[in-house]
Amino acid sequence: MTSRLIPVAPFVLTVFGATGDLSRRKLLPALFHRDIDGQIPDDAVIIGVSRRPLSDEEFRNFARQALVDHVAESDLEGGALERFLGRLSYIAADADADPGWPELAHRVSGLPGHIPVYYLATAPHLFGPICERLGKFGLADHGRVVIEKPIGKDLESALKLNEQVGKIFPEDQVYRIDHYLGKETVQNLMALRFANALFEPLWNNAHIDHVQITVAEALGVEDRAGYYDTAGAMRDMVQNHMLQLLCLVAMEPPSSLEADAVRDEKLKVLRALKPIDDHNMASVTVRGQYRAGASAGGAVPGYLEELGSERSETETFVAVKAEVENWRWAGVPFYLRTGKRLASRVSEIVVGFRPVPHSVFGDAVGAIVPNRLVIRLQPDEGVKLWLMIKDPGPGGIRLTHVPLDMSFAKAFKVRNPDAYERLLLDVVRGNQTLFMRRDEVEAAWRWVDPILSAWRGAKDPPRPYTAGTWGPSAAIALIERDGRTWLEDGA
């Protein structure tokens, strides 16, 4: 396939946890897609590492199956699959023991012109030990390390983890992935705000009434109940993905897209979040847990059944009314809501503008609905701007509310790349703009910790909601108390 994309520099990517779920579902398919688009140089090398003793051939077979399962059949044709598999090799090594490491060091140092990248697709408790061994075997010097959430379970553990990684790798070699930042529409949010003169003058409390950020999933916790029960929706989604979205909506225009210019602005937002603790937790947060119900036309079990336990206080739903205490946003609530087993899978940001100050359409039929800008992350990525127009036809002015609707799939007719495709190549390019800096992660925990602590101290457990609904009714009350309502599709 001919490509208008520029290949990245040669690299040697070592994936720790190469036989795990993230590697199978996301990393290998992402690398493969970049390869067929011609972005991976011929001499790039991918080394899989895990504890399992496997030959190169066995690892290639594992990768072949992963690609058959996760890539469109038509993309695997024409020798593309075999060419990609030819890049792969395997080393068995344990984070806590030396065998295997000298061989890894030998292979990486045998490729002096290649950029060394280490992707830690492992459990977070292994980040420290793996970094230590990377240091011990001389692999850290020019290497870049990629880690992913959970980065800690609270501020204290995040500080410790960042410390362990930071002992070996300086911050400009650490890439903390939040895959939401690699999503096409999330980057589009920056394009929308900063490549158009239209919105920025209105982007403040004089013109914006409130913002809603919804990340709703129809699936339950499936086979991840073990991990999920130690995390819950606040740690799994709010501390990272949702706060990152909030930051991109609320940040001041950075002076450039340089990594630190963007990250400095996001950090200021996180630091300006109004604290939520024992005093206000009950009035501005709602947590829920799903019970058995229906999804996609079939009966589905409740969280406790999936967990195989009679009791758990882990929340599978969170709604929060957040506030950014600065000049631009004072008085503008940011309503966040996320949950598993909700009515449908939809992620979107709705920016609700203020109503017109005065209606000149005295007896026109149809109320004037305030404008809304809806940025739809998934599915059907796109942007909608809801406007009032006159209903066509004679008979006087009747007003109606319609969207200027730009669906990316219809407008561009290209495959929407997975977030990991973008992010993995950004690591090779040395571009940290879409990665979280250490102080951002820590600031997010500083806001989240007191909420978790207030919940722990509360007498009532998470509120039950039926699977396949929009969460506990208290979440509806949370926003309706303010005279607003959750908007599905911004309508």
Could you say whether residue 426 binds ligand BG6 (CB under 6 A)?
Answer: no
Could you say whether residue 229 binds ligand BG6 (CB under 6 A)?
Answer: no
Contact 6, 425 (CB under 8 A): no
Residue type, 200: E
Contact 23, 14 (CB under 8 A): no
Contact 465, 319 (CB under 8 A): no
Q: CB-wise, 217 or 323, nearer to ligand BG6?
A: 217
Could you say whether residue 323 binds ligand BG6 (CB under 6 A)?
Answer: no
21 is in an annotated binding site: yes
18 is in an annotated binding site: yes
Q: Helices 243-250 and 438-457 meet at what angle, rounded to 10?
A: 120
Classify strands 382-390 and 293-295 as parallel, antiparallel or unpaired: unpaired
107 is in an annotated binding site: no
Query: Does the annotation mark 358 as catalytic?
Result: no
160 is in an annotated binding site: no
CA-CA distance, 451 to 448, in Å (whole number)? 5
Residue type, 2: T
CB of 221 to ligand BG6, least distance (A): 8
Q: What number of chain residues touch ligand BG6 (CB under 6 A)?
A: 3
Which position among 35, 229, 236, 440 is part of the footprint of ligand BG6 (CB under 6 A)?
236
Q: Which of 33, 114, 210, 241 is catalytic?
A: 241
Could you say whether residue 421 binds ligand BG6 (CB under 6 A)?
Answer: no
Nearest residue to ligand BG6 on Cβ basis: 236
Q: ∠ CA 339-281-212 to the nearest 5 degrees?
A: 45
207 is in an annotated binding site: no
CA-CA distance, 139 to 303, in Å (whole number)? 43
Virtual torsion, Cα 194, 9, 45, 420, nearest 10 deg: 0
Window 342-371: residues binding ligand BG6 (CB under 6 A): 347
Estimate to the nearest angstrom the gap between the alpha carbon of 364 and the chain centroid.
Answer: 44
CB of 346 to ligand BG6, least distance (A): 10
CA separation, residue 458 to residues 262, 279, 281, 313, 462 (Å): 37, 11, 9, 11, 10
Could you say whether residue 35 binds ligand BG6 (CB under 6 A)?
Answer: no
26 is in an annotated binding site: no
Q: CB-wise, 217 or 426, nearer to ligand BG6?
A: 217
Q: CB-wise, 347 or 432, nearer to ligand BG6?
A: 347
CA-CA distance, 266 to 252, in Å (whole number)? 8
Classify strands 285-291 and 463-466 as parallel, antiparallel or unpaired: parallel
For the chain, what's the residue count?
491
CB of 319 to ligand BG6, least distance (A): 17
Which position among 217, 315, 348, 421 is part of the footprint of ligand BG6 (CB under 6 A)?
217
373 is in an annotated binding site: no
CB of 183 to ligand BG6, least distance (A): 7
- Is the C-alpha dihedral spanning 21, 433, 175, 334 positive or negative? negative
Could you say whether residue 306 binds ligand BG6 (CB under 6 A)?
Answer: no
Active site members: 241
Annotated binding site: 17-24, 51, 149, 179, 183, 217, 236, 340
Contacts to ligand BG6 by CB under 6 A: 217, 236, 347
As annotated, the binding site for substrate includes 179, 183, 217, 236, 340
Show binding-site residues for NADP(+).
17-24, 51, 149
